[in-house]
Amino acid sequence: MARMELTDQKHPSDSIVSKQEDIRGTEKTAWLFGLDEQNVRAYKALSGQIRELEKKLDNYHSEYNSFKKTVRRLERNEEDLYVQLLDKCVDRETVVNLIHKIVPILINEKSKGSAYSFESSEDSDLVEIIEKFHGYWVREERAVPHAFVPLAKQQSRARSRKVKQDPEEYI
């Protein structure tokens, strides 16, 4: 009887299948590698664009901050200019009229219980003030600028009564 020996040799059809599988695997690897290569190129391009956009954003942010500071400075300058413009627009006559209205009020508040008499001089008018001080009538002369004299004279005309002296006050 003849014996058949088993050998480790591959069948020719097995070898063809194996070669085809190797080719397909290599093609798959090449195809996948190609896709990975494309992905890497796309990633590099996109990350470059992202870096450019981040730089632009930083530039816009710094420009925004500098514009914000400029706006604040301009707003402060606007306020200063507004005050200066108001100072230029103030009419001296109006200010003098306001002073003439305010001074009598202040004089009335400060010197209640006083009597006034006036004597004229070159730069100012002398005002004789008679005030009650610790139960005694005290006379004092003060210089009042000409601008305030008409107001003071108006007040003295309104108070042109004789002052009665109480004999008990001098005891």
Residue-wise pLDDT tens digits, 66-106 = 999 999 999 989 888 887 887 777 777 787 788 888 888 88
Counted domains in the chain: 2
Instruction: Mark which of 35, 62, 89 sits at the end of a domain.
Output: 89
Q: Specify the pLDDT at position 3.
A: 47
Q: Specify the pLDDT at position 49.
A: 93
Distance in angstroms (rounded) separating the CA atoms of residues 130 and 139:
4
pLDDT along the chain (171 residues), means of 10: 48 67 75 74 86 93 94 90 78 79 80 50 54 60 56 49 50 48
Q: Specify the pLDDT at position 63.
A: 94
Distance in angstroms (rounded) separating the CA atoms of residues 111 and 156:
12
Residues 27 and 55 occupy one common structural domain: yes
Residues 27 and 85 occupy one common structural domain: yes
Instruction: Mark which of 89, 106, 126 sits at the end of a domain.
Output: 89
Distance in angstroms (rounded) separating the CA atoms of residues 107 and 100:
11
Distance in angstroms (rounded) separating the CA atoms of residues 68 and 76:
13
Distance in angstroms (rounded) separating the CA atoms of residues 27 and 25:
5
Q: Specify the pLDDT at position 23.
A: 73
CA dihedral 79, 81, 84, 89 (to 10 degrees): -100
Which residue range is the domain that position 83 belongs to? 16-89
Residues 83 and 45 occupy one common structural domain: yes
Residue 30, in any domain of the structure? yes
